Chain A
Amino acid sequence: MSDHHDNHAHGDHGHHEQSFVSKYIFSMDHKMIAKQFLITGIIMGCIGVFMSVLFRLQLAWPDANFGILNILGNMAPGGHLNTDAYLALITIHGTIMVFYVLTAGLSGTFSNLLIPFQVGARDMASPFMNMLSYWFFFLSSVVLCSSFFIETGPASAGWTIYPPLSALESAIPGSGLGMTLWLIAIVLFIVSSLLGGINYISTILNMRTKGMSMNRLPLTIWAFFFTAILGLLSFPVLLSAGLFLIFDRSFGTSFYLDQIWVNGVGALDHAGGSPILFQHLFWFLGHPEVYIILLPALGITSEVIATNSRKPIFGYTAMVLSIFAIGFLSFLVWGHHMFVTGMNPFLGTVFMIITLIIAVPSAVKTFNYLATLWKGNIHFTNAMMFAIGLVSFFISGGLTGIYLGNATLDINLHDTYFVVAHFHLVMGSAAIFGMFAGIYHWFPRMFGRMMNKTLGYLHFWLTFAAAYLVFFPMHFIGLAGVPRRYYEFSILPEFGIWDDVNVFISIAAIIGSAAQLIFLYNFFSSIFRGEKSVQNPWRSNTLEWTSPIEERVHGNWYGDLPTVYRWPYDYSKPGAEEDFIPQTVPYKDGEDDGHGHAPVPTKPKPETTPEEVTSDDRVLFSVVKRWLGLSKG
């Protein structure tokens, strides 16, 4: 076994020269792909956040003109946003943040970076598919952004693109070419997501190193695992929903359309479809999507909180089970987005019961985080602070989910600012904070340098305060009955009472967005000028810190793959000299496994271990050869 390792490792790794293109562009190295996902995600995030600033200007000062809005060209004549442009901005803001930043940017980055590292593999099961996954994502981003440069403007039917609005060009200009581009972008995105997901699952199941049994996986990996399964099962449904919509728009079918008469065109030929069908299909993805976003963030938080509290994560098994429960239940609750669509009230009762059950595993996770902090020795690294921020948002936003999941209360709260407040806290802010925690924590692993921690503190406090100042008051606006997606609030004089609050929110949003400039500066300058990192800067137990940190070649670990002897959370174990014991350290005589049992010894690896992937350019050729039938393999 060990011989095999030696030959393999020394033969293929460390000495192989890679061209610029294969190293930085069409790279198949999971570390580089992770960076590509991250940087694309950050760029898309900047675009998305910038859009939110633009429409917050409109919401706070509906009568003012802003020079900065001139960059939108004819969407904001004279520096004043028009109604269609406002709807386009909120639509693309939602799409970018949900899919491009919090799905691909978060899950794509950290699944790619951490799965091979933390399970102890040289690379993903299929580095080639992994590369394709990134490039489909990149293409998708380009297509989406290009819709800003067409005459009729980007899609503007809300990120949920409910037909008939999204299906009828005559209903809103954005439903012309802009909507077509949106759909193409999402189809490409789904392809990317599926390629990634299959890879993550097979890597986790098949490529764990010696001794890395499933119950020794870090919680990050468990989270990525369930996330990938959720994506694999739900994204195809969105794909079919999108294809049906494309058919309805372009080929005259009527999946979602029935009995429509629209201004300027008259009665349409469509008959027999149902707009509600689309909502069922959309939310069958849409709700798991919320957890596709949140679970990786929670996984990162588990890892970061345990490491920086110098304590084992409390209730490892309960944490895994609650991820599983949340993931499973998330497939059965999509109808809670549709309580007031006129859906049969009986269905409402079913969806309401299951929705509120999800609060139980979520509560368990929260309490376990609190128990992990209890009696810890907390190091306030930047990552730790963002992780604590995540838990705070998760509590605040999670609790309002109990209102919205209750069909009775949803009648009055549906589509108001209360909903905006809820999901921006629990899904938006929480997941973004998870992403920041991950970036600050694994920056040294990605770039071999440290980020500037004082700037990190400033970034954290500004962002944290701004997020609460922006979203907390929105609960009250929603409770006053103000609907979301309104261009201005002139419809009722009584809404005028919130004018000052809207100004306040916009200022907070602008400050919060400006604070991201600190992050950008810190991130990009640290890549080149940051302090050199030591091998294991956070004194962490997981495997990624055992692979040489200055490593710049494809394929992790120069020599043998590490062997794992214990779970990843042996922090501050009594009897140990240090306050951490990496997973690669064998049990001492008489040491228990931390749960009061004798440790399970790491057995020699069975012969059936799948062949390690040699991960260099030749993989590409072997795949191509196989396709062309040149190779028998």
Chain B
Amino acid sequence: MRIKTFKSLLATLGLVLLTTLAFSNVALAQEQTDTAASEAMDAPEAAADGASSWPSADEAIVAKGKELFNAKCNSCHELNKKVTGPALANISDKRSQDWLYKWIRNNEELRKSGDADAIAIYEEYGGSPMTVFGNLKDAEIDAIVAYTKNSEVLNKGGEKGPEIPTEAIDPVIAKRVNTALLIIGFFILFIVVLILEILNLVARLTGKEIVKWNNVNAVLMLLFVIVGLAAAFWEFFEHGKHVLPDASTEHGAIIDNMFSITFIITGIVFVITQLLLFGYAFVYRKQKGRKAYYYPHNNKLEVIWTAIPAVVLTVLVLYGLQSWDYIMSPKKEDNISKFEIFAFQFGWKARVAGNDGEFGEFNYNLISGTNPLGLGITEEYEKLKTEDIPSDIKAIEEKIAELEALPSLTDEQKEELEDLRDNLHLKNRHLIRLGDISSDTTLFNEKGYDDIIMEDEIHLMVNQQVNFRFRARDVIHSAYMPYFRLQMNCVPGMPTEFTFTPTKSTAEMREMKNDDTWDYYLFCAKICGSAHYNMKMKVVVHKEEERAEYDKWMSEQVGAFAKYRTKKEEKPEQTADGKATPAQQEETTKAVALVK
């Protein structure tokens, strides 16, 4: 009967191995057909347009392109991999220059114009449209394309740090090696199981245990805690090197301090209790002739080990409360610089008040490709109300009419029709809401024209208090800056905020990290959709000596809607005269009204 067990065991394992093999073969076959298929697909589209004049593979241009690619495209695109959007390597072989300009600057418009390629891409990627990059200049798009074509130019210079030259391993061989390792692993497991089965069988037949399992396990328990604690210590020193360094903000130091205290207390408790647990397990293992000590309760002990944790936790709670209060209700300084951080699928934008030192009002109904934050800009409003949405509605109605004219509808078409009707309803409602806000004087108070919208990076001054006000337009995001010990959710419809003071400049951190390319980043910590893992914005902290650089950067920023202003009021552009320095902003901070 036992033999049967072995046979079935063998059979099961054989089956497992076969399946593994089968899978790996399928993988190989699959891979080959995939490459073939994708090559076949790409070929006819190549050289669609001969008239393009893409720039050469000049290293400077490619480098610029890489920078732009990482800032603008990387949250949804990779060079060689389909992610949220298509892989972009050698995109210029597939699309014409003119087409790419149009697509990148306003893909919505291109789709509406009935461009078949544009519509096909839109549909292939599940109907989630690409962000509109209306402000990218020709040269910038060219640089990005140059990078997608010639990214290898940069790799030679070793931008990513010293790249270890790896010998090319034939993927087929690698796969076979892996499969072999897997088989060997299973085989070892099988042997162990077999030995244990045999021992068990012998014990059952002879009535005597060959291995004293109780003692073996007791010793293993002891070994486990010793090796485990040693490994924990090793990891503490080894991996402890790579955890976050001391905080780069004022409040962060308090968090670090709180962490250290908690770490010491819990560390001690951890070691003692684990040692006791496994130590007791070893010491009090079953022994012949010993009877356990009947000891059902001792109220004094219970009181002691209720009281001690209670006291320790009280200390932690009190200290924690004090820190929390300090961090969450900070004293706001007069020269605080204010940013609005705006999160969306998938990226960040930041806004600072322009010359007037006041943030313009916003309304989510005003959001469009050219007004991503929905600021109260009359021209944008008019455009949305009289051009964009009506033309959308017209297009939808046409499509509905087209479908309705068909004699019979497939299921897919029925679904599409339903979606179109829903969409039409939404657009009509949107139009009504836009009508409702037409005379909202607070919304269109003209303060938004000079607001500066930053897309890729923001700059801060060291030791200068900063207030971030967070908004989101679609789903919940979470602005996370681990070096700053800062995290706050960005919730649609509910602005949140966080006030902090950076204490370490980027330069200082670079020196500490011994890495000239290092930067602070703000990224997303709340699951928000496909490209959640790839949503970041660079944050540069200037040291005191770099104030001029900071001022220069600030003065370079142009009000996002200043163009309307200049036309309308025939005023010169208001970018010069050292505007938007924190000192100027401070005067009017009180008037900032971000609330809807």
Contacts and interface: CB of A to CB of B under 8 A. Distances in A.
Binding between chains A and B = yes
A118 to B, nearest CB: 19
Q: Size class of A's contact patch?
A: 35 or more
B34 interface: yes
B61 interface: no
B405 to A, nearest CB: 25
A598 to B, nearest CB: 15
Interface stretch (A196-204, A259-267, A326-334): A259-267
A385 to B, nearest CB: 6
B430 A83 contact: no
A209 to B, nearest CB: 23
A385 B295 contact: no
B594 interface: no
Nearest to A358: B313
Contacts of B486: 411-412
A484 B526 CA distance: 8
A371 interface: yes
Given A359-B309, A472-B232, A491-B536, A380 B285 contact: yes
Most buried by B among A273, A311, A497: A311
A352 B204 contact: no
A408 B287 CA distance: 49
Nearest to B211: A454
Contact of A595 (B240, B296, B475): B296
B75 to A, nearest CB: 9
Contacts of B329: 345
Nearest to B22: A67
Contacts of A87: 527, 529-530, 532
Nearest to B490: A342
A374 interface: yes
Contacts of A501: 239
A480 B242 contact: yes
A506 interface: no
A411 B255 contact: yes
Contacts of B529: 87, 165, 171-172
A16 interface: no
Given A312-B294, A340-B478, A262 B345 contact: yes
B364 A594 contact: no
Contact of A458 (B193, B493, B523, B534): B193
Interface string B447-470: 000000000000000000000001
B406 interface: no
Contact of B31 (A65, A370, A399, A455): A65
Contacts of A514: 185-186, 189
Contact of A416 (B28, B365, B517, B525): B525
A551 B523 CA distance: 61
B9 interface: yes
Given A377-B286, A403-B262, A371 B127 contact: no
A487 interface: yes
B187 interface: no
A594 B295 CA distance: 8
B280 interface: yes
B248 to A, nearest CB: 12
Contact of A411 (B204, B292, B485): B485
Contacts of A158: 527
Interface in A386-422: 388, 391-392, 395-396, 399-400, 402-403, 406-409, 411-412, 414-416
B293 A572 contact: yes
A491 B492 contact: no
A312 B297 CA distance: 9
B563 interface: no
B309 A311 contact: no
Interface stretch (A210-218, A296-304, A313-321, A430-438): A313-321
Interface stretch (B45-53, B140-148, B298-306, B572-580): B298-306
A268 B429 CA distance: 9
A493 interface: yes
A39 interface: no
B197 to A, nearest CB: 7
Interface string B23-60: 11111101100100000000000000000000000000
A396 B270 contact: yes
Interface stretch (A3-11, A47-55, A360-368): A360-368
Nearest to A479: B243
Contact of A453 (B213, B243, B474): B213
Interface string B519-533: 001011111111111
Contacts of A531: 204
Given A78-B30, A312-B296, A363 B496 contact: no
A380 B293 contact: no
A173 B530 CA distance: 9
A134 to B, nearest CB: 29
Contacts of A78: 30-31, 34
A483 B525 CA distance: 5
26 contacts: A70-B27, A164-B474, A165-B527, A257-B493, A260-B493, A266-B427, A266-B430, A313-B296, A318-B306, A342-B491, A349-B321, A353-B317, A368-B302, A373-B280, A376-B293, A377-B290, A380-B217, A395-B269, A402-B313, A407-B320, A412-B252, A455-B197, A472-B232, A485-B532, A572-B292, A573-B294
Interface of A: 63, 65-68, 70, 77-80, 82-84, 87, 157-158, 162, 164-165, 168, 170-173, 257-269, 273-276, 309-318, 340-342, 345, 348-349, 352-353, 356-357, 359-360, 363-364, 366-371, 373-380, 385, 388, 391-392, 395-396, 399-400, 402-403, 406-409, 411-412, 414-416, 452-455, 457-458, 461, 464-465, 468, 472-473, 476, 479-481, 483-494, 497-498, 501, 514, 517-518, 521, 525, 529, 531, 569, 571-574, 579, 594-595
Given A375-B292, A406-B316, 15 more contacts: A77-B82, A78-B34, A171-B345, A171-B529, A267-B365, A275-B491, A311-B292, A318-B297, A348-B328, A364-B305, A392-B274, A408-B258, A452-B200, A514-B185, A595-B296
Nearest 7 A/B pairs, CB to CB? A67-B27, A481-B482, A258-B493, A342-B496, A345-B328, A375-B293, A486-B533
